[in-house]
Amino acid sequence: MSGVVLIPAGGGEVIGDAPERRVEILSDHEAVNATWSRFAPHRLGADLHVHRHHIDCFYVLEGELTVRLGVEDAPVVVPAGTLALVPPLVVHGFRNGGDAELRYLNLHAPGRRFGDYLRAMRDGRSFAYDQHAPPGDGGRPVNEAVVGGGKLVVDRPGLRVELLADLDELAISEVRSEPGGASPPPHVHRRHAESFYVLSGELTFATNGRELRATAGTWVQVPENVPHTFACTGSKEVRFLDIHTPGCGFGSFIRGLHAAATEDERATVRAAFDQEPVG
């Protein structure tokens, strides 16, 4: 992958499209595989299973996702605007248990070729993937799965940043910003990919002499070693997910960055993170 990938709303690789279900692949990166899905009311998703080597993560865009946890199949309702994170070896499944349509993002970190697994299922082929029947010992405790529980990092006029996940495998923040807010300096990540999903409003990315406009429903992925920055453009508040895979200490980075009082302090924080200035 040599440059920024921008996938507009509805533009992902379609795995299945029917009135009761649509699934699109947004990312095939080795650090993260991402899909966008639409489920009709009461549509079943996946039966109980575990992943041994990666995290399964859901962000609900519309409706309610019911996550099924443990061999007891305990239902946990995840409302719109909420992240559900399931660590390796926690037994889980999911469905749309509600009366309304469900739309959600599903992130697997690291990717473990989840996209290839979906393609194989679509095409009636077998594929060895990191998805297994619940273990005899019941797996890890279900209380290690996390629903919600984001931590507010910044809350001031024109900017709100909430840290939704901060793990070795991935870190996710949800950002709300007024248009024209401060932009990060042009930079590059050497050891991780950065991805964005625009929930509302508009972002404009600058990379390698190009400008890319991303409106609501757009997925943007910036691979390692690709210089980039972005701006909050348009006329309305922008709300977006900022996803780092692997996490590389992103939580400490954004806390330190917003606590810094001078440009020298901000430069020190950036130097400690996988963010190298370019220009």
Residues 160 and 206 in one domain: yes
User: How far is Cα 189 from Cα 88, in angstroms, rounded to an integer?
Assistant: 26
Rounded mean pLDDT, 243-270:
94
- Inside any domain, residue 4: no
- If we measure between CA atoms, which residue out of 217, 211, 215 comes closest to residue 201? 215
Domain identity same for 16 and 137: yes
My answer on whether 35 and 88 are in the same domain is yes
Number of domains composing the chain: 2
Same-domain check for residues 221 and 265? yes
Final residue in a domain of this structure, among 108, 128, 147: 147
Residue 112 in tokens: 């473990």
Distance, in Å, from the CA atom of 260 to the CA atom of 73, rounded to the nearest integer, reads: 45
Same domain (yes/no): 89, 165:
no
Give residue 2's pLDDT.
64
Query: Same domain for 30 and 141?
Result: yes
Domain shared by 97 and 176, yes or no = no
Neighbouring C-beta atoms of residue 30, cutoff 10 Å: 13
Q: Which of the listed residues 106, 128, 147 is the one where a domain comes to its end?
A: 147
Please write the tens of the pLDDT for every residue from 197-212: 999 999 999 998 899 9
Say whether pLDDT at 124 is over 70.
Answer: yes
* pLDDT band at residue 279 under the 50/70/90 scheme: confident
Q: What CA–CA distance (Å, rounded) separates 9 from 219?
A: 8
Q: What is the per-residue pLDDT across 159-195, written as a single tens digit (0 to 9) for each?
A: 999 999 999 999 999 999 999 988 999 999 999 999 9
User: Which pLDDT score is estimated for 267?
Assistant: 87
- Decide if 65 contacts 94 (C-beta within 8 A): yes
Q: What is the mean pLDDT of the chain?
A: 96
User: In sequence order, what DSSP letters do the residues of 12-65 get, joined into one string?
Assistant: SEEEEEETTEEEEEEEEETTEEEEEEEE-TT-EEEEEEB-SSSEEEEEEEESEE
Are 89 and 22 in the same domain?
yes
Question: Does 56 have pLDDT greater than 90?
Answer: yes
pLDDT at 191: 96
Q: Does 2 map to a domain?
A: no
As a whole number, mean pLDDT of residues 85-92 equals 98
Q: Quick: pLDDT tens for 23-47.
A: 999 999 999 999 999 999 999 999 9
- In this structure, are residues 12 and 25 in contact, taking their beta carbons and an 8 Å threshold? yes
Judge if 166 and 118 occupy the same domain: no
- Decide if pLDDT at 1 tops 90: no
Token pair recorded at residue 223: 């691979």
Please give the residue range of the domain that contains residue 262. 151-277
Phi, psi of 251 (to 5 degrees): -60, -45
